[in-house]
Chain A
Amino acid sequence: MSVAAAIEHDAQLMLRVRDGDTASFALLLERHRVPVIHFVYRMIQNQAVAEELAQEVFLRVYRSRATYEPTAKFTTWLFRITTHLALNWIRDQKNERRQQSLDSEAPEGTAPLQVADGVPNVEQGMLRSARLDEIRRAIQALPDKQRAAVMMHKYEEMDYTQIAGALGCSESAVKSLLFRAYESLRARLAHLNRGVSE
């Protein structure tokens, strides 16, 4: 299926959901479940919360079925909801952490989620894990909107117009966000590449 056809297909499915066809909702869920969960996971780096937020995303899609109008690409609309929820969650967490740090001297940051990998030996596994932690930390250190823009650009392969639609800003703002985000990542990840080349 071509990209244009897939876009058209999503909008058609959503219009059918609007008309009460729940099977079309199941198809939409099937098509977008994984990208939405992966996007949220990369944004907040917590699988359980990523799944909870993804559930909320699809719940909102379902709730909005009656008022849905295919004015923008379905994925732009979907990622607008997703980004909105993820950014809200991050903001709430920051507030909560700030509150907790006022109450106690808790250490900054949370332990990164350990994802099982298929490396053959322990040493390689540890090296890879350390490298992955560095990459995660570099992504986590980006300002929220920059992070969302990079995630959509790099992993969802969305164009500037779509990212702008999802973030609710102009295309030039998206370009600027991406430019600054990649610049920060280059600076933060430069030592990793030096380690590899040495």
Chain B
Amino acid sequence: MMCPMRSRDNAEILLDYCARTLPAETLERMDAHVGTCKACQGELAAQQQVWSALDEFDASELNISPDFDRRLYARIEAEHQDPFWVRGWRKIFASGQPGGWRPAFTMGLAAVAVAVFLMVRMPSEPVAVPESTVAVEAAPAAVKTAAVDSQDVERLDKALEDIEMLHLLGSNGANNSNAL
């Protein structure tokens, strides 16, 4: 048998051995091993000392109130008198049964909270691109960029028109001088 002291994985064997909860076959093998292993003997002695110290913490000396049951049944009776919605609410929040309504309820509540948050944060209508300079100053960065882009195009158009006009004037001037 592999010494439990040499492997952390087997450490619980010593606990079980001390608690005498090992299967009979393992118990026999442990008995034989402990007889020859000094490390296990020391560990067992320490564990058994803790075990017997814990035995002294005997709660059986407690005197449980004789009216324990009566008080409990009174509370159960009082709960029966509660309105149906209070009982329903309690069922959701005070259930000890795993996989009850509570997780579903919590998830639903979280989903509603996220939906409300998104509705508040996300604008419902698209933002119109302002035309005036004042509006451009007040607009967010993306809108500003869009407005600046459209102004540049306008200026470029105007510049091209001006060049065309000058070209025309130039050619007209030449024709006129030729004509003169």
- A residues touching B (Cβ–Cβ < 8 Å)? 26, 29, 33-34, 37-38, 41-42, 47, 50-51, 54-55, 58-64, 66-69, 71, 77, 80-81, 84, 115-117, 131-132, 135-136, 138-139, 150, 153-155, 157, 159-160, 175, 178-179, 182, 185-186, 189-190, 192-193
Q: Does B64 sit at the interface, judged by CB under 8 A?
A: yes
Q: How many A-B residue pairs have CB under 8 A?
A: 117
The answer to whether B50 touches A136, judged by C-beta atoms less than 8 angstroms apart, is no
* CB contact under 8 A between A29 and B72, given known A47-B62, A182-B15, A185-B50: yes
Interface residue count for B (Cβ, 8 Å)? 37
Q: Chain A interface secondary structure, helix, strand, loop or mixed?
A: helix
The answer to whether A193 touches B96, judged by C-beta atoms less than 8 angstroms apart, is no
B109 nearest CB across to chain A (Å): 19
For A157, give its contact among B15, B21, B46, B69 (CB under 8 Å): B21
Chain A residues with Cβ under 8 A from B15's Cβ? 153, 178-179, 182
> Given A63-B90, A175-B12, 5 more contacts at CB 8 Å?
A37-B64, A51-B68, A64-B96, A116-B61, A186-B46
* CB contact under 8 A between A59 and B72, given known A81-B96, A182-B15: yes
A183 nearest CB across to chain B (Å): 9
- Closest A residue by C-beta to B67: A51
Bound state CA distance, A182 and B51, in angstroms?
9
Chain B residues with Cβ under 8 A from A190's Cβ? 46, 49
The answer to whether A38 touches B59, judged by C-beta atoms less than 8 angstroms apart, is yes
The answer to whether A139 touches B57, judged by C-beta atoms less than 8 angstroms apart, is yes
The answer to whether A135 touches B53, judged by C-beta atoms less than 8 angstroms apart, is yes
